[in-house]
Amino acid sequence: MPIADNSTIMAAGEIEPAAAAGRRALEIGLGTRSARILHSVRQLSGMIDPASTRSGVAEFCDAFTAWETEGCPDRT
């Protein structure tokens, strides 16, 4: 599933597939150092409620937070 579709998936209320795609996109973005992919992942993270108990959400949020706090370049 293309990364650009994550916002469409979220708009349809499909948080589980969006979280799974986001996790895969984060892994790919880190592996390729693609700023475009990581930007999309950051956008997705802003749409997902980290308090959700839906399958895969906690895993995505944890992976995103770990990247953001440990490896994300400071853009200030």
- Residue 1 is predicted with a pLDDT of 43
Residue-wise pLDDT tens digits, 20-73: 999 999 999 999 999 999 999 999 999 898 899 999 999 999 999 998 887 765
pLDDT of residue 5: 59
Distance between CA 20 and CA 45 in Å, rounded? 12
Who wins on pLDDT, 65 or 13? 65
What amino acid occupies position 19? A
Is residue 8 very low, low, confident or very high in pLDDT (cuts 50, 70, 90)?
A: low
